[in-house]
Amino acid sequence: MPQKRRRQSRRRWIPISQNRKKEIRTAYLFLLPSLLGVGGFVFIPFLDVIRRSFLQASGHGFVGLMNYQEVLQNEAFGRAAGNTAKFMLICIPLLLFLSLGTALILQNTSGFQKAMKTGVLLPMAMPVASVAVCFQMIFDRHGWLNLLLQKFGDGGQDWLATKQAFWVLTACYIWKNLGYDMVLWLAGLSAIPREQYEAAQVQGAGRWNCFRYITMPQMKETVFVTALLSFINAFRVFREAYLIAGDYPHDSIYMLQHLFNNWFTNLDIQKMTAAAVLLVLGIGGVLGGEELWKNHREKRERKLGQA
């Protein structure tokens, strides 16, 4: 019983209704439009996708895990999955680090911060097709970067057709998302009471110690959300990649999205269904693990708080 009361007190912000049944019904009524749409367009058809992933292409013969085996042994799938993972592992930390750095510098300025924010957010508004044209103009074999390098007696390489394409895409991702992440960090930073820093400084704490012992512990939620949204936006960089380099770009930026797209064009539904299920399991597993860990941590913190 004390366990239960504690739960309720933590969730004070939820209106406690006299009539539980009515409350549940109301909640589902609010949820209904969204639930119908999401259910009808995604959840239910996805069950069909799962069913199809165990079937033969023509007819309805059950083939067990054969489609999965085919996908996992598919050389292109391995390459695309590897590239996507590599892109995520390099780009996201880089973006988080850069945007946090900018936010820390801008933290205590006002007019300057406002101007910087507007400028850094602008790339979000640019049409993807125009972004693609600009990046082509810069990184093409006959483009501006090589024009500049020629002056130093270098140049001549086609940045988009070599391994450098990966870094071009990285630059594009960071260019586009720096502002979004910076605003998130600035919001997280401004939520920390200034008195805490002042108190620490009076006691002789340096900048690094302030950051390590005041800022970092209070930014956990911001880190989580910023990383999550950066992850979502990292999938969206496919738009730029597709318009810059087409269906079959250089190997180093051949992502899962390219592969799915090409399978779709060839109506390779069997491979697509199996690969979609695999991806859902993979991402769902990571997300589920994270949620469990978060719940566990919250519980422990509450216990510590009680003691």
Partner 1 sequence: MGRHKTAGLGQAAVRACLVLGLAVIILPLFLLVSYSFMGVQELRELCGPVLSGLEGMSGFRLIPAYPTLRAYVRLLLDSPEFFTAFWNSCMQTGGILAGQLLAAVPAAWAFARFRFPGKGVLWFFYMLLMILPFQVTMVSGYLVLSAVHLMDTPAAVILPGMFSTLPVFILRKSFSAIPGEMIEAAKVDGAGSLRIFFHVGLPLGKAGIFAILILGFLESWNAIEQPMTYLKTKVYWPLSLYLPQITASKAALAFAASIIMLAPALLLFFFGQDYLEQGIVASGIKE
Stretch that binds partner 1, among 62-70, 86-94, 185-193, 299-307 (CB under 8 A): 185-193
Interface with partner 1, residue 30, by CB under 8 A: yes
Long-range contacts (CB closer than 8 Å, 24 or more residues apart) made by 80-87? 80/254, 80/255, 80/256, 80/258, 80/259, 81/256, 83/166, 83/251, 83/252, 83/253, 83/254, 83/255, 83/256, 84/255, 84/256, 84/257, 86/166, 87/166, 87/169, 87/170, 87/234, 87/237, 87/253, 87/255
Stretch that binds partner 1, among 57-65, 123-131, 192-200, 299-307 (CB under 8 A): 123-131
CA distance 90 to 175: 15
Stretch that binds partner 1, among 69-77, 86-94, 207-215, 239-247 (CB under 8 A): 239-247
**Residue among 89, 124, 149, 216 that touches partner 1 (CB under 8 A):** 124
Shortest approach of partner 1 to residue 228 CB, angstroms?
A: 7
CA distance 226 to 174: 14
255 Ramachandran zone, left/alpha/beta (phi>0; psi -120 to 50): beta
Shortest approach of partner 1 to residue 243 CB, angstroms?
A: 5
Shortest approach of partner 1 to residue 18 CB, angstroms?
A: 10
Residue closer to partner 1 (CB basis): 144 or 213: 144
Interface with partner 1, residue 121, by CB under 8 A: yes
Residue 239's closest CA among 265, 252, 257, 266?
257
**Of residues 135-164, which lie at the interface with partner 1 (CB under 8 A)?**
136-137, 140, 142-144, 146-147, 150
**Of residues 44-103, which lie at the interface with partner 1 (CB under 8 A)?**
45-46, 48-49, 102
**Residue among 57, 149, 191, 216 that touches partner 1 (CB under 8 A):** 191
Shortest approach of partner 1 to residue 124 CB, angstroms?
A: 6
Q: Which residues pair with 55 in a beta bridge?
A: 62
Interface with partner 1, residue 175, by CB under 8 A: yes
Interface with partner 1, residue 178, by CB under 8 A: yes
Shortest approach of partner 1 to residue 151 CB, angstroms?
A: 11
H or E element that contains 218:
helix 216-218
Number of CB atoms found within 10 A of residue 135's CB: 23
